[in-house]
Structure 1
């Protein structure tokens, strides 16, 4: 389906197969996938998961490795969107697993890559969530195409297999009854005739104000009526990590906000300062003292992600990047003035460059190309980039659009996403 859409719109298509190396048949399955991809007219790459495998938590480890490998390959190819073939049955199985206590995240039709920082700027699109597995197999059979059934899907040791077995009596209709969201296919709209687009239904909203600070400072000013989803995303993005806050801790923060309390809290490596009118969320500089680390070396001309929040590309050799926390006094007078223009809580998390040959540290932008990853990451997490051309000019053939974090207020739109447009692939 993707190959047909790509041919119609003059787009390159790269198919990726992750070989987890967990089955004696995995090499044969990988070869089968490569042949099928090339027969459809796509380029293809195999991505082996090498190294030791954990004795416990294997499905979660395999999933994390899979997303990292796919993200690295997609970024290397210059892609910004990866299509996945999850079906309505996958949604139903996930719901059953969560009902039985699993912490597995929900599969969404349009979502950021969960791999961080490998998946920075990368979106996942799942256009088959309105289609059942049996329906898809009927379609393949009618075309004379085959598929592979992994025997591990029948292994009762795994929660996914148990959920699948428990749903079998429900049949196709049962899977459809518990799905979340509706997908209509890979559609196109007139803004960019060769691009993918997605829109959201407006069945709820939570107001969020973007930061009044200069763009790229990695901080957010939020309304006290912020939703739990938005607050969690802001904390994770500002803290630079990849683990969401525990539900009980997040609930306590929201309770204090709703009560109008003025307070400071630290969660997910982020600092939350709740004042009378707004909430400031930024990196908690104290984390650098609590978990000290050596400056991170920078290879000239190679983008390096520092602290999960900044992409830094040094122009020359010999530089390493470190936090401004604990180094302010050694900065030049001009750099101190630039740093002091920021709110106090935001100063220590700024990147500085250090070098054996330099007299002292300097603000990173003096000798490197520096960009904050925080604002785009939050926009992606909240679904504020709903069109391929919203992401970046690197998308194949798609014209660039203005970043949705423009310094103006914006609103997080709730509801289930769906593809829209006048033409279906």
Structure 2
């Protein structure tokens, strides 16, 4: 509610449209009333409003994580439909403290950052999250809202000790970052006037990952320095593999240890292939994954951007086309298509998308029969904080090659070293 008041005032002052999204998870008998409360508050603040619902069966275990993933997917899809590039979240200092405590107790929960990519993939591609209240405590927000006569809702699940988040919140009570007071549990307060506006802080300045950045080879593959950091390697593996889950810490640590020891080896992690040679470390999609899970051909509706394998955005102009991996079809490609693939590292060729039409067995390389661009480079740039402001998330003309934010003429300096890469990606 505090974020709504601040953001709506900022939007009015700057002539911007504000869209408020409310996710009804369907987990509490009062959720419909809570959703109506949110919609009324958004409209009163002058914002557009959408109700989003988490439909379907709910898991019996891991409910908070499943709800969080569903929430991010719904919000990302709605934001993209609306043409938004940045979504504001109202996480506070208390959320940061709780997440830190949960990780210390073994949770794999990610760190809350003020400016970060949407974790929903591919629904959240190109979408950034801004959390302008990470240095504000909940108690301060409650006092501020009360002074303004503004109401809010306390979710009783925040006090349910079956959930790790609630236990962490209770453990932090002595520090002042605990949960709701007993007299506010599950109680809807009356709404009053909206709070005065303030401009949300700008996204942070560009932060650097430790270790030299990956050098893109084109078509979603990279080379890395052996001194790569855990954060950078984990991000490169997730992006090259097309998935949405970072590698477990122990598995990532083993790879880092082998790299720093100078070993020559090949490994697969997060669906990505790691080829550590004497003079370079190649990261690319592992084509053997396609044989292991054998995905069916993915149809390409004409004129609709379709994401394939979490790595490529494809748009076909004509009906009948489907996309499949090049693995097992390389010899059936035309001479020109094979020549293009031969410019790539051998490990990257089988994971390239090729198109087949109406069940025909003669494939053509994606990009010749449909518009195609790799999502990997831009995704990695977002993960490594190479785009630090809304204006850098420029809309792309349909079918145009996106600007490479990793190596687009900017000096790239790193902690402990200062490599500089100039010019565009090698194609």
Report the TM range for the smaller structure's normalisation.
0.7 to 0.9
1:167 aligns with 2:172: yes
What do residues 282-315 of structure 1 show as CA deviations (whole Å, max 9, x unaligned)? 0111111122121111111111110110011111
Offset of 1:128 from its aligned partner? 0.3
Matches of 1:156 and 1:358 in 2, distance apart? 57
Matches of 2:396 and 2:339 in 1, distance apart? 35
Q: Give the stretch that moved more between structures: 402-411 or 45-54.
A: 402-411
Across the two proteins, how many residue pairs are aligned to each other?
388
Matches of 1:79 and 1:412 in 2, distance apart? 31
Paired residue for 2:120? 115
Change (3 A) 1:412 1:29: farther
Matches within 5 A, 1:299-338: 299-338=301-340
Paired residue for 1:180? none
Change (3 A) 1:20 1:305: same
CA contact (8 A) 1:224 1:277 kept: no
CA contact (8 A) 1:78 1:394 kept: no
Offset of 1:251 from its aligned partner? 1.1
Paired residue for 1:38? 43
SS in 2 for 1:366: coil
What do residues 142-174 of structure 1 show as CA deviations (whole Å, max 9, x unaligned)? 211100001111111111111111111221599
What do residues 249-280 of structure 1 show as CA deviations (whole Å, max 9, x unaligned)? 21111111111122211111111111222211
Matches of 2:237 and 2:396 in 1, distance apart? 28
Matches within 5 A, 1:147-162: 147-162=152-167
Structure 1, unpaired ranges of 5+: 175-183, 188-195, 396-400, 415-425
SS in 1 for 2:367: helix
What do residues 295-343 of structure 1 show as CA deviations (whole Å, max 9, x unaligned)? 1111111111101100111111000000111101111111111111211
Offset of 1:59 from its aligned partner? 0.8
SS in 2 for 1:282: strand
Matches of 2:204 and 2:390 in 1, distance apart? 8
Matches within 5 A, 1:224-373: 224-356=226-358, 360-373=362-375
Q: Give the stretch that moved more between structures: 349-358 or 70-79.
A: 349-358
RMSD: 2.2
With structure 1 as the length reference, what TM-score do the two structures score? 0.87
SS in 2 for 1:360: coil
Q: Give the stretch that moved more between structures: 157-166 or 401-410.
A: 401-410
Offset of 1:393 from its aligned partner? 2.4
SS in 1 for 2:211: strand
Q: Which has the higher contact order (CA 8 A, sep 6+)?
A: 1
SS in 2 for 1:199: coil
1:199 aligns with 2:222: no
What do residues 194-229 of structure 1 show as CA deviations (whole Å, max 9, x unaligned)? xx5421467x73211322x24xx1011111111011
CA contact (8 A) 1:87 1:133 kept: yes
CA contact (8 A) 2:73 2:123 kept: yes
Matches of 2:391 and 2:279 in 1, distance apart? 35
Change (3 A) 1:22 1:164: same
Change (3 A) 1:56 1:412: farther
What do residues 178-199 of structure 1 show as CA deviations (whole Å, max 9, x unaligned)? xxxxxx9623xxxxxxxx5421
Change (3 A) 1:286 1:94: same
Matches of 2:104 and 2:159 in 1, distance apart? 20
Paired residue for 1:99? 104
CA contact (8 A) 1:382 1:412 kept: no
SS in 1 for 2:236: helix
Offset of 1:403 from its aligned partner? 3.7
Change (3 A) 1:362 1:127: same
Matches of 2:106 and 2:14 in 1, distance apart? 44
With structure 2 as the length reference, what TM-score do the two structures score? 0.86
1:404 aligns with 2:414: no
Paired residue for 1:25? 30
